[in-house]
Amino acid sequence: MVSRGDLIELELTDITHGGDALGRHEGLVCFVPYGVPGDRARVRVTEAKSHYVRGELLEVLAASPHRVTPPCRHFGRCGGCHWQHIAYPQQLAYKQRIVQEQMARIAKLPDVPVRPTLGMDEPWHYRNHVQLTPDREGNLGYLAARSHDVVAIEECYLPHPLIEEVLASLDLDYPGLRQVSLRAGTRTEDRMVILDVEGDEPEIEVDDLPLSLVLLPPEGALRVLVGDDHIHEELAGRRYRISAESFFQVNTDQAEHLVRLVREALAPTGGERLLDLFCGVGTFGLALASQVRQVIGVEESEGAIADAVENAEGLENVELWQGSVEEAIAEVEPGVELVVLDPPRAGVAAGALAALIKLAPQRIAYVSCDPASLARDLRILADGGYEARYIQPVDMFPQTYHVETVALLSRVNLEKQ
C-alpha cells in the first residue's frame, strides 16, 4: 500500500495531456511532473489515491535520451513552462501522441489521422502577450506550478524581444497593482502595457519607449493613460487592430500557419458562404474573405467585434454579428457551405453544436487549443453526421504541453450510413 510521503523508484514510460510523465508502481499509475519517458526516477509520493498516485521527482537515476538541461534558472518553480527539460523534437512527438490519445479515449475516434506536429525553427522568444503578477515585495513574476504563489523572475525565454525590452525598462511603484499585461505587434512593433489595478492611478516609468499605457480599474471603463487603447499586428497579408482586452493568438509566426491550414482545409472556390464562429478580431474570416462569396463573423465580446468591424473596412462581402454563437447560428439562413470554429479552451457548447449540425455546412475547420474539449466536440459532430478527415497539431506554445490543432470535418451522406 503506497502512502503519502513514501519514496519509490519507477520507470517513466509515457506522457500525459497535463504534461506529467507517467509510470507504474505496484499496479498504480504514478504521475510525475518534470519527468521524461525513459527516465528511471526516485520519487516522493505527494498524493495517494486508490487508483493513482502523484509524485515529486527527487532524483533521475537514469536519464531518458530525450532529457536536456533547461536553460532557464526558474524552470521547475515557475509555472509558465512545463517541458524545457525535453528536447524540442520530442516535445513535438509527444504533442502528436497526446492528440491521438485524446481522440481515442474521449472521442472514440482512434483512426482519425493525426499529422506530425508543425513546430518552430526557433522555439523561444515567441510570445506576443504575457501576463505578470507582483509578489509581496512588488517584484513581477509568474504563478508557480500548481500554486497561487508568485515566482519573481530575472529572466524568461518565452516573450518576444519587443516585450523583453519593455519588461527590462519597466519601473512600477504601486501597492494596488494586481497584474501587468504586456502586448506587442511583432510585425508592426506596436507595444502596450496594461495595468490591472485597484485604487488610484499608479506611478510608472518606461524609459521613454514608444508604447501605449492602459489602466484597468476594478470598476468602470478602461482608461488610456498614454497612446491608444489598441495595437496593430499583421497576419496573412492583412493588418489587424487588437484592443487591450481582445483575444489574439500569442504566437504570430505560428498563427500564420493556422490561417494557411484553415484555408487549405476549407478549400474555398469563390462561391461559398463562410460562417466564422468565435471570430474574435476577424483573424480567419477576414483572411479568407477574398476567396468566398460571403463571410458572416460571430463574436460575443463587444470589444473584439468592434475591432473586427475596423479590420473589415473595405470588405463589402463581410457581415459581423455581436452575440452568442448558439443564438447566431439559429439566425443564419440555410446554405452556408463552410464554417470556421475557433472557440475558447472550454470548446463549443452542446446547444451551439446542435444548431451547427442542423445548419449542415459541408466542411468545418475546427481550431482548438485543448485536445480534450476538441475530442468531446468531435464525438458530437461525428454523431451528427460529420467525419474527421484529419487533425493537424500546431505548436503555438513551445516548452509547454499545450497544443493547438486544426481539424477538418466534412459532412457525410447519412443515407448511405
* Residues 14, 38: Cα–Cα separation, whole Å: 8
Task: Put residue 230 in one of left, alpha, beta given phi > 0 → left and psi -120 to 50 → alpha.
Answer: beta
- The Cα 283–Cα 174 span in angstroms is 36
One DSSP character per residue, 27-57 reads TEEEEETT--TT-EEEEEEEEE-SSEEEEEE
CA angle 160, 76, 191 (to 5 degrees): 15
Query: Which secondary-structure segment (H or E) carries 234?
Result: strand 230-235
Q: Which residues pair with 411 in a beta bridge?
A: 386
Question: What is the rounded CA–CA span in Å between residue 109 and residue 102?
Answer: 9
Cell numbers 502577450 correspond to 129
**Nine-digit cell at 410?**
466534412
Q: Which of 62, 59, 58, 51 is nearest to 29 (CA)?
A: 51
Please pick, among 78, 156, 279, 369, the residue that the annotation labels catalytic.
369
Rg of the chain over Cα atoms, rounded to whole angstroms, equals 23
* 15, 38, 71, 97, 197 from 64: Cα distances, Å: 13, 4, 18, 17, 45
Cell 517584484 -> residue: 139
81 as an active site residue: the answer is no
DSSP state of 416: G
Q: Which residues are catalytic?
A: 369
